[in-house]
Structure 1
Amino acid sequence: MKSIKICIVIAALCCILPASAQKMFASAKYDAMCSYYGETIENTITAYEADNTAEAVVKNIMSVIGLRANFELRAANVPNAAAVIIKNKRYILYNPEFMNTVNTVSGTNWAAISILAHEIGHHLNGHTLGSEGSRPATELEADEFSGFVLRKMGASLKDAQAAMSLIASMKGSHTHPAKHLRLSSIETGWANAGSGGVTPSAIDVITQRPAVAARTTPKRTTAPARTVQKPVKEKLALDEKYIAGEVSLTGDPTGRYFITKKAHFVQVTKDNIYLLGSLEESDRYGYKFMLSDKFNNNIYIDNSGGLVNSYGNRIGRLSIK
C-alpha cells in the first residue's frame, strides 16, 4: 500500500505549480548554496509556498531514511534547484517549470524526484554549512544519496539516473564532476540501498509449469542452410588505430569510453570526442594507475583491470587492446 501511495505522489509531481501566496526574500545574498548546475544567483530570489504534491514527495523522501526535515521547501525563481541557507535558515528551492521540463524530456517523473533528493542530500550531509558552495566531492555524495533514496522509494537504476543521464555535462568543472562519475555515484547509492525498495524487476511473476508432452519419435528433416549475418560495427568519431584500451562503466553501460595511445581518457560518440581526463600513475597505495581529471577526480585501476572510485566501490573495468 505504501509503494502505491508513493507512485501516486510521483505521478502527480509533473503538475507542480507555485501557489498564489508569495514570500519574497529581501536580498539575493545567501550564506551558502549548492545548486544543481553550480551557478550563482544574482537576482532577487522570489519564493512561493511549495505545492502540496512537492511537499508530499519530500515527506516520502524523508520517511524512507527515517529523518525529520531540517529545511523548508519552496518553489522559487531559481534556474533549476538549490540547497541554500538564507538568514541562518535552510531551504530547498526548486523551479517548477524546470522540473516539469526534465520530467517531460526524460519520459519519467522520477527525474524530478531525484533532483529533490540530491538537494536534500546536500543539507543532510552538511554541505551548506560552509561557504564553498558546490564542489565535485560534495556533488558525488549528494548523487549517491539520491541513488540510495530512489531505490528505497521503488525506482529502478535507470529511473534513478534519468535526470543525470539527460542533463549532466560530459566534462567536469570546478563545481561539478563529469557525467560518468555522477552516474557511477548514483549507482553506488542505489546498490547500497539493497532490496529495500520495490522495483518492477523485483515483483514476483508466477508462471504455470508447462505440461510435459507425450514422447513421440520426431521425423527426420533437413534443416535449411542458415545465413549468418555479420554484426555491423558502430562507426565512431575515434579511429581504432588510436585506441589502447576500452573502459566499461557499470553506471553508463551504453556509453563508449576509451584510453587512447597518448594516455587520454575520452568518451566517444558517432560525431564527437570528449576529453575526460588522462591515464596517470596512481596516488593511492595498492593501485599502479588511475584515471584522473584536472579537478583531481580519480578512478583507480586494480591489477585485474577493475575500476574503483575514491570510496572503494567497483564501478567498471578497463580492457587493454
Structure 2
Amino acid sequence: MKTIRTKICIVIAALCCMVPAMAQKTFGSAKYTAMCSYYGESITGNITAYEAGDTAGKVVKDIMSVIGLKANFELRAANVPNAAAVILKNKRYILYNPKFMDNINSATGNKWAAISILAHEIGHHLNGHTLDNVGSRPQTELEADEFSGFVLRKMGASLADAQSAMSLIAKMKGSHTHPAKNDRLAYIATGWKSAGEYNPDNTDVADNSSPSPVITKQPAVAQRPVAVKQPVVVKTSQPAVKPELTKREKIQQSIMSGRNIASDAHLNSNPNGQYYLTTKGNLVQVTDENVYLIASLERSDRPGYKLMLDDKGSGSDMYIGAGGVLVNGSGKRIGYLRSR
C-alpha cells in the first residue's frame, strides 16, 4: 500500500512540473527588446512567459472595465524582474512576475500596490509608448503613472493606496529612463485627482421649481443728509513690476544663456530629448517643466576610457570616448557629447 501511494505522489509531482512547461512560451533574448518596465532594470536572457493567473486576469478586466476600453494586449506571467509592457513578435504583451507582485503587496500591506503596477503597464500600451521600440523614458513613465492614479481612484483606491507601490520602490534620483520618486508620486496624484473632477451625481445646479423670493417693503424713514469727506488721493510713482518667469521659462533661459552648460548631449535611445552636461559634471534631461539628473561625471572604471557618466547603480553607465562619443558597457555607441 505504501509503495502504491508513493508511486501516485511521484506521478502527481511529475504532472505538476509538466503543466508550466506545456503552457510556457519562449520569445528569445531580451537583449534587443525595448521594454517599458516599471522599475527600470536591465532585462537579459531569454523571455519565457506562462498563462496568467486568475487573480491577475481579473484585475486587468476590472481596469479595462472602469475606462471602457477593450484590451489591446495579452497578459502573461513571465521571468521579468517586476512588470513590463512590450511588443514581442508584433504582438502587445503585459508581462508580470507573480512572486514580485505578491512581495510588493505584502510589503505595502494592501492589494492596491500590484494593481497600480499593472495599471501603469497598461497605460504604456494604451498611450502608444511601446510602438517606437525605444523603451522607458521619463516623460512616458510619468504619463503611465498619471494613468495609474486615474484608474485606481475609479476602482475605489485612496491616494495613499494609489501611491503605495511607488512610495516603496521608486528611486529618489531620476535616470535617463525613469523619473525621480517625487515626480512620479506627483503625477499619480494628478491622475487620481482628475478621476474625481467629474461627478455625474452632482446636483449642484439651479432649481427652477424654487418659489420666488418674497419682497417686503420697508417703512419710509426720514434721512438726514450726511456730509461725506472724500479721501485724499496721493499719487506716487510705482516702479514697473516685471512678471515673474515660469519654471519652464527659467529652464529655457538657463539653457539659452549656456552659463551652466558645458556640452550638449545626444542619446540614440531618445533622439528628440534635450540632454546637457552641466559645468558641475551632471548629465541632465530637460523637459517642458522639469530637469532630471541622469548621471554624474566620474573617473572611468574601465580601461581605455578616462571618464564615465555614472548612473549610480541602474546598470546604464556611459563611457566617454574620443571626440565625445558615448558607449555603453558592451562598447556599443549610444550617443555623443558636443562641447559648446
TM-score after normalising by structure 1: 0.57
What is the aligned-residue RMSD (CA, Å)?
2.5
Given candidates 174, 181, 184, the residue that maps to 1:182 is: 184
Tell me the residue number matched to 2:28: 27
Alignment of 1:65-84 (within 5 A): 65-84=67-86
- Aligned residue runs from structure 1 range 123-202, under 5 A: 123-194=125-196
**Aligned-pair CA distance for 1:114:** 0.1
SS at 1:161's partner residue? helix
1:274 aligns with none
Deviations 1:272-296 (A, max 9, x none): xxxxxx9993328xxxxxxx99222
Distance across 2 between alignment mates of 1:298 and 1:181: 13
Structure 1, 93-102 or 39-48: larger mean CA deviation: 39-48
Letter in 2 for 1:283: Q
Percent of pairs identical after alignment? 67
In the superposition, relative to structure 1, how do residues 279 and 56 fare at CA in structure 2: closer, same or farther (>3 Å)?
closer
Q: Is the 8 A contact 1:62 1:69 kept in 2?
A: yes
Q: Could you tell me how far apart the structure 2 residues matched to 1:186 and 1:132 are?
A: 23
1:63 to 2:68 alignment: no
User: Residue 175 of structure 2 aligns to which amino acid in structure 1?
Assistant: S
Contact 2:104–2:113 (CA under 8 A) maintained in structure 1: yes
Structure 1 position 132, deviation (Å): 1.4
Which structure's CA Rg is the greater one?
Answer: 2
The structure 1 segments of at least 4 consecutive aligned residues displaced by more than 6 Å after TM superposition are none
Displacement of 1:298: 6.0
Matched residue of 1:32: which SS? Answer: coil
Aligned to 1:131, the other structure's residue is in SS state coil
Deviation at 1:45, TM superposition (A): 1.1
The counterpart of 2:111, out of the listed 109, 112, 131, is 109
Gaps of 5+ in 1: 1-18, 198-277, 285-291, 301-321
Task: State the partner residue of 2:251.
Answer: 282
User: Could you state the TM-score of these two structures normalised by the residue count of structure 2?
Assistant: 0.54
Question: How much has 1:32 moved relative to structure 2?
Answer: 3.5
1:90 to 89, 92, 105: 92
Residues 250-265 of structure 1 aligned to structure 2 (within 5 Å): none
Structure 2 distance, partners of 1:108, 1:195, is 25
1:263 corresponds in structure 2 to none
Q: What CA distance in whole angstroms lies between the structure 1 residues aligned with 2:248 and 2:148?
A: 29
Is the CA contact 1:71–1:91 (under 8 Å) kept in the aligned structure 2? yes
Residues 209-252 of structure 1 show CA distances to partners (whole Å, capped at 9, x for unaligned) of xxxxxxxxxxxxxxxxxxxxxxxxxxxxxxxxxxxxxxxxxxxx
Q: How many residues align?
A: 195
Aligned partners of 1:32 and 1:86 also within 8 Å:
no
Q: What is the CA distance between 1:152 and its match in structure 2? A: 0.3
Supply the distance in 2 between the matched residues of 1:189 and 1:281 (Cα, whole angstroms). Answer: 26
1:295 aligns with 2:285: yes
Q: In structure 2, do the counterparts of structure 1 residues 31 and 42 end up closer, same or farther at CA, with 3 Å as the change threshold? A: closer
Whole-Å Cα distance in 2 between the matches of residues 196 and 151 of structure 1? 12
Question: How many Å separate the matches in 1 of 2:287 and 2:170?
Answer: 16
1:97 and 1:42 map into 2 onto residues whose CA distance is 18
Q: Which runs of 5+ in 2 are unaligned?
A: 1-18, 200-246, 254-281, 291-340
CA distance in 2, matches of 1:61, 1:89: 20
